[in-house]
Amino acid sequence: MASKDSSIFTPVRIGPVTLRNRVIRSAAFENMAYGNKPPQDLKDYHVAVARGGVGMPPLAYASVNRSGLSFDGQLWMREEIVPALKEITDAVHAQGAKASIQLGHCGNMTHRSTCGCMPVGASGGFNVYSPTFVRALREDEIEGLVEDFGHSVGLARQAGFDCVEIHAGHGYLISQFLSPYSNRRHDRFGGSLENRMRFMRMVIRRVMEAAGDDMGVLVKMNMYDGFRRGMQRVECLEVARELERLGVHAIVLSAGFVSKAPMQVMRGAMPLRTLAHYMDFRKFWWLKAFVRLFGRIVIPTVPYKDAYFLDDAVEFRKALSLPLVYVGGMVSRSSIEKVLDAGFEAVQMARALVRDTDFVNKLRSGEVERSGCRHSNYCIGRMYSLQMKCNS
């Protein structure tokens, strides 16, 4: 089969939105939103990815309010940035791709110096990741957060986005409510899985209402948290079934917990010297030394292989009817086709598109069969302090 005739390059429908092909950029954090606004760099990158052939290049991890910001280079959804976002969606549409934005809240994975307040989460305590003390959200604050998600979807509509992707995985706020590791509440939002899903359920209902009949809604969720006290596959399957009942248009299947099991998400080894080198010495002088000395213990290597989530994702495919988007180790035509042949409607990729924004077009033309990404994860180690960049 010629590359251009592959199933990769057939259209796919996500709710009311039809993509030109089955490749979506994974909403990997760009760290390009200087001052929490979308500058030219962010626009240039996403236009390049759209020109490079993907069906949809989501902007990564826009916070629904200021308390949800974990980085200075992260988007913060508010009225004043809508015109600049509209410039990006118009430019992406001009390249024949659909436009999407990932919306979320980091919960406890931030610091007062970034989010402007004491960080909040499902439960209180001390977060070593930041490091900082965290307070539990009050019940009366939760309704406001739910409305922030709905308002952000409305802003995304004004900015011309075709889809939104809600981040409910990786140990961010919705995931913090879902996981028994991070949710130690004794009210109606804690305890049983039914209670732990309550915040997610409220958010998704509000998002679906705001999305209406013409915006696609995807949700990124965990298939497992990646450690003993976290969520396991059985509970995550119930979460997925609940999302299907709530009417979301597609689920993006991932795994891992950024503050506890980060390499479950990305696989391979974290380049610790790179990570420490780019940390802001004024803020993290002690953390730089800690990472150099103990980083391999705290962030252990998880072996990489192509399509590394596929065995787990197939179990979700068997249990669900709605469209599923596979992410994890998509760097070759053969692995993408293997995933699509297993019944997944689309795939997401990130590192291959950090290395080469034209990767999808080159797959289609037959110029390449596999990305040149060597999975050094330099882009991951660097992006938490500077904008992402490939070093493969």
How far is it, in rounded angstroms, from Cα 308 to Cα 305?
A: 5
Q: What is the mean pLDDT of residues 368-384?
A: 71
pLDDT at residue number 367: 96
Mean pLDDT of the chain: 90
Pairing of strands 250-254, 216-222: parallel
How far is it, in rounded angstroms, from Cα 246 to Cα 336?
A: 28
Question: So which residues are the catalytic ones?
Answer: 172
Alpha helices by DSSP H, listed for the chain, are: 40-51, 82-94, 112-115, 139-158, 173-178, 193-196, 198-211, 233-246, 262-266, 272-278, 281-298, 310-319, 333-341, 351-355, 359-365, 378-383
3-class state of residue 108 by DSSP: coil
Task: For 36-64, write each residue's pLDDT tens digit.
Answer: 999 999 999 999 999 999 999 999 999 99
Within 10 angstroms of residue 10's Cβ, the number of other Cβ atoms is 12
Task: For 102-159, write each residue's pLDDT tens digit.
Answer: 999 999 999 898 999 999 999 999 887 777 899 999 999 999 999 999 999 999 999 9
pLDDT at residue number 299: 67
| Percent of the chain surpassing pLDDT 90 | 76
Check if the beta carbon of residue 38 is closer than 8 Å to that of residue 55. no
Q: What is the mean pLDDT of residues 324-335?
A: 96
Q: What is the mean pLDDT of residues 71-93?
A: 97
Check if the beta carbon of residue 183 is closer than 8 Å to that of residue 176. yes
Q: How confident is the model at residue 1 (pLDDT cuts 50, 70, 90)?
A: very low
Q: Quick check: 279 pLDDT over 60?
A: no
Q: What is the mean pLDDT of residues 328-346?
A: 96
Exposed, middle or buried by CB within 10 Å (0-12, 13-18, 19+), for 336?
buried
pLDDT at residue number 385: 56
pLDDT at residue number 235: 98
Nearest C-alpha neighbor of 276 from the set 266, 285, 268? 285
Q: What is the mean pLDDT of residues 322-335?
A: 96
Amino acid at 139: E
pLDDT at residue number 368: 95
pLDDT at residue number 96: 98
Q: What is the mean pLDDT of residues 176-198?
A: 98
Q: What is the mean pLDDT of residues 82-91?
A: 98
Q: Quick check: 384 pLDDT over 80?
A: no
Q: Quick check: 281 pLDDT over 60?
A: no
Task: For 216-270, write each residue's pLDDT tens digit.
Answer: 999 999 999 999 999 999 999 999 999 999 999 999 999 999 888 776 777 776 6
Amino acid at 247: G
pLDDT at residue number 301: 73
Alpha helices by DSSP H, listed for 159-197, are: 173-178, 193-196
Nearest C-alpha neighbor of 168 from the set 160, 177, 159? 177
Q: Quick check: 292 pLDDT over 50?
A: yes
Task: For 303-317, write each residue's pLDDT tens digit.
Answer: 889 999 999 999 999
Q: Quick check: 2 pLDDT over 50?
A: no
| Percent of the chain surpassing pLDDT 70 | 85
pLDDT at residue number 293: 58
